Structure 1
Amino acid sequence: MHFVTGGAFNGKLKWVREQYQLDDLEHTWISAYKGEEIPELHGKKIIVLEGIEVWIREVTRSIPAAACREKWQSLVREWIKWESKDQERKLVLIGNDISKGIVPIAPEDRLWRDVTGWVYQDLVSAAERVDVIWYGLNQKLK
């Protein structure tokens, strides 16, 4: 599993496309920004899930923070299991860093920011590779 994060509009998508040469390879790209749901993983060797923070926000609206984090931990376990069944499988997760700037005033926005931070910590812990993209440049953290 590869987790890619960074600021909005900082080149994460372009970097992932170039890193994995996705224009040449068969892959699946699922985007929360387009209203797509988190999929059951199957099929393609490379699957990109874009907009992790959007899916986290949806979950925080319906269940408590602890349950939300547990739900995401369960998803991560499923994703790792999917990857482990074939050496050529790769899951790439892309999420905007929403932890910088002013702390939101609205309680539901603060909750979303907090849960996103916790989920990202879990993703970083589980991922075999982690990159931060700022202004189109990557910094490999793991």
Structure 2
Amino acid sequence: MHFVTGGAFNGKSNWVRKHYQLDDLEHSWNSAYKGDEIPKLNRQQIIVLEGLEVWIRQMAQNVQADESRQNLKELIRKWLKWESEDQQRKLVLIGSDISKGIVPMAAEDRVWRDITGWVYQDIVSAADRVDVIWYGISQKLK
């Protein structure tokens, strides 16, 4: 699993497309920004999930923070199992960093920010590779 993060509009998606040469490979690109649902895992060689913070917000709206985190940890375990079943498979997760800047005034926005931070920590812990993209330039963290 490869996690790519960084600020909004900093070139994460373009970097992933170039890094994996996605024009030449069979892949599935799913974007929360376009209203896509998290797909069922399939036989694609590469699955890209873009907009994790949006899906996290949707998942956290009706349950407590701890339950949201546990549900997302279970989803991460399923993704890792899918990826491990075939060496050609790769899951690429793209999520914007929403932890910087002013702390939101609305309680639900603060909870979303907290859950997103916790989930990103869980993803980073489980990922094989982690990159931060700022202004189109990558910095490999793991």
Query: Normalising by the residue count of structure 2, what TM-score does the alignment of the two structures yield?
Result: 0.99
Q: What's the counterpart of residue 17 of structure 2?
A: 17
Deviations for 1:79-103, whole angstroms, at most 9, x for unmatched residues? 0000000000000000000000000
| Matched residue, 2:64 | 64
The residue aligned with 2:99 is: 99
Runs of at least 5 residues in structure 1 that lack an aligned partner in the other structure: none
Q: RMSD across aligned C-alpha pairs, in angstroms?
A: 0.4
1:8 corresponds to which residue? Answer: 8
Q: Within 5 A, what are the aligned runs for 1:30-109?
A: 30-109=30-109
Distance in 2, Cα, partners of 1:23 & 1:12 = 16
Q: Sequence identity of aligned pairs in percent?
A: 70
Amino acid at match of 2:34: K
CA distance, structure 2, for counterparts of residue 118 and residue 101 of structure 1: 17
- Separation in structure 1 between the aligned mates of residue 130 and residue 118 of structure 2, nearest angstrom: 15
- Are 1:135 and 2:115 counterparts? no
1:112 partner SS: helix
Partners of 1:42 and 1:59 lie apart in 2 by 21
Distance 2:118 2:73 in 1: 10
Structure 2: where are the runs of 5+ without partners? Answer: none
Range with greater deviation from structure 2 (38-47 or 99-108): 38-47
**Offset of 1:112 from its aligned partner?**
0.2
TM-score, length basis structure 1: 0.99
AA aligned opposite 1:48: V
